[in-house]
């Protein structure tokens, strides 16, 4: 009876097979990463689409846009952190988040301001702070690296980097970390008065009431919302300040306005308005000083950022777009014109 012996694989053959598998994995991995990045970008685009749709529904109901910041306390010192409600809290009922809106009750005037609500309601029952720390996936870019608990520890002035509540005498009553938002509203394209965040910005959102009729450049030519990454925009290793991340934005509320026009060169001045809004001056993926990145837009999608326009469209704009800042509206760059609602300029550069 003949017996056939089974020949085993030699070590060389096994190594060849392993090498081939490694090569195949190496070839497939970039493709998998690209698919994942594309899915994250698409999900982020959908978030912006939902935000702009909710904003238009709010406008249809109230005949005005939500305030960028609902200012309860007016101007204060630069480090004044008494909180005010952000634009995002007002559109919550139109994003199936009516329960959170009802708990926070932002429409209750000064008595319902973010700072007052935090202080008065943290005894019994303690419902306001946990609610303001609750993340909403629709306000977080899936491609960004926000903390697992969603609390923003970067937005701030001196030490605590948190929303601070104050009583009528402006005495500190506590620091409160609240939830992060990946999306910020367009505040200012720039003018001769200031280039940074300002209460009466020429963008779609500010502390005053804006209506769609105020967007005279056309809704298809005017940015309403953009992205801001949490940990990103840290590229210039020769400057320690450039390693400070851009800090995303705050959901539900901002710190107080502080000084009207935000300085561009220090993180300490990047407060209030810039917690929830952006300027053209901050740039797209600008790795410069914190004062720029704290009031700019940025993303981890690579090469640019996604924006929601007033006509409901969401478009990706490259960071190579003309962003040269000019105080004279007749000399505005393409990006300035897109952020500004009423410069009456003609956009000639292809931007999407």
**Range 62-87 average pLDDT:** 74
Predicted confidence at residue 99, as pLDDT, reads: 94
Bigger pLDDT: 82 or 177? 177
Is 150 domain-assigned? yes
Predicted confidence at residue 39, as pLDDT, reads: 85
- List the structure tokens of 186: 């367009």
Is 348 domain-assigned? no
pTM: 0.83
What share of the chain has pLDDT > 90, as a percent?
Answer: 35
E strand or H helix at 28: helix 11-62
E strand or H helix at 324: none
Judge contact between 249 and 228, C-beta under 8 A.
yes
What share of the chain has pLDDT > 70, as a percent?
Answer: 73
Q: What is the mean pLDDT of the chain?
A: 79
What is the rounded CA–CA span in Å between residue 233 and residue 230? 9
Judge contact between 152 and 178, C-beta under 8 A.
yes
Predicted confidence at residue 36, as pLDDT, reads: 75
Give the model's confidence band at 114: pLDDT under 50 very low, under 70 low, under 90 confident, else very high.
confident
Other beta carbons less than 10 A from residue 14's beta carbon: 11
Predicted confidence at residue 4, as pLDDT, reads: 59
Q: Has residue 158 got a pLDDT over 70?
A: no
Predicted confidence at residue 237, as pLDDT, reads: 57
Predicted confidence at residue 215, as pLDDT, reads: 95
Q: Has residue 159 got a pLDDT over 70?
A: no
Q: Has residue 335 got a pLDDT over 60?
A: yes
Predicted confidence at residue 266, as pLDDT, reads: 42
**pLDDT digits over 275-309, tens only?**
899 999 888 988 766 667 788 899 988 889 999 99
Predicted confidence at residue 270, as pLDDT, reads: 43
Q: How many domains does the chain have?
A: 1
Query: Per mean pLDDT, which range of 73-77, 130-134, 313-317, 331-335 is the poorest?
Result: 73-77
DSSP state of 95: G
Q: State how far the alpha carbon of 203 is from the alpha carbons of 279, 286, 290, 338, in Å.
A: 8, 20, 21, 9
Determine the structural domain holding residue 50 and report its residue range: 39-339
Is 27 domain-assigned? no
Residue given tokens 């702070």 in the structure block: 129
Bigger pLDDT: 73 or 263? 73
Predicted confidence at residue 157, as pLDDT, reads: 40
Query: Per mean pLDDT, which range of 60-69, 118-127, 251-260 is the poorest?
Result: 118-127
Is 14 domain-assigned? no
Q: Has residue 346 got a pLDDT over 80?
A: yes
Give the model's confidence band at 94: pLDDT under 50 very low, under 70 low, under 90 confident, else very high.
very high
- List the structure tokens of 250: 């705050």
Judge contact between 296 and 279, C-beta under 8 A.
yes
φ, ψ of residue 140 in degrees (nearest 5): -125, 125
Question: Torsion angle, CA of 53/162/168/127, rounded to 10 degrees?
Answer: 70
Is 183 domain-assigned? yes
Is 92 domain-assigned? yes
Is 49 domain-assigned? yes
Predicted confidence at residue 235, as pLDDT, reads: 55
Is 294 domain-assigned? yes
């Amino acid at each position: 009876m003949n017996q056939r012996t089974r020949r085993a694989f030699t070590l060389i053959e096994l190594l060849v097979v392993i090498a081939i598998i490694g090569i195949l994995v190496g070839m497939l991995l970039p493709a998998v990463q690209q698919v994942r990045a594309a899915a994250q970008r698409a999900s982020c685009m959908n978030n912006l689409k939902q935000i702009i749709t909710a904003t238009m529904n709010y406008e249809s109901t109230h005949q005005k846009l939500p305030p960028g910041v609902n200012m309860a306390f007016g101007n204060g010192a630069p480090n004044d952190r008494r909180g005010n409600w952000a634009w995002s809290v007002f559109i919550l009922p139109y994003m199936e988040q009516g329960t959170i809106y009802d708990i926070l009750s932002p429409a209750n005037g000064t008595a319902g301001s973010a700072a007052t609500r935090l202080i008065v309601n943290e005894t019994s029952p303690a419902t306001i702070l946990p609610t303001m720390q609750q993340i909403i996936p629709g306000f977080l870019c899936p491609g960004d690296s926000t903390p697992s608990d969603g609390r923003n520890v970067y937005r701030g002035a001196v030490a605590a980097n948190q929303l601070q509540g104050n009583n009528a005498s402006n005495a500190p009553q506590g620091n409160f970390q609240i939830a992060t938002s990946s999306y910020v509203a367009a505040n200012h394209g720039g003018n001769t008065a200031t280039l940074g965040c300002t209460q009466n910005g020429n963008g779609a959102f500010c502390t005053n009431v804006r209506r769609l009729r105020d967007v005279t450049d056309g809704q298809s030519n005017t940015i309403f919302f953009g992205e801001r990454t949490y940990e990103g925009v840290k590229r210039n290793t020769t400057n320690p300040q450039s390693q400070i991340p851009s800090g995303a934005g705050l959901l539900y509320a901002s710190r107080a306005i502080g000084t009207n026009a935000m300085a561009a060169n220090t993180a300490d001045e990047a407060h209030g308005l810039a917690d929830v809004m952006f300027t053209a001056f901050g740039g797209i993926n600008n790795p410069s000083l914190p004062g720029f990145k704290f009031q700019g837009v940025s993303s981890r999608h690579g090469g640019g950022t996604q924006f929601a326009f007033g006509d409901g469209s969401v478009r990706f704009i490259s960071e190579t777009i003309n962003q040269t800042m000019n105080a004279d509206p007749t000399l505005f760059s393409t990006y300035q014109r897109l952020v500004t609602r009423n410069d009456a300029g003609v956009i000639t550069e292809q931007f999407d």
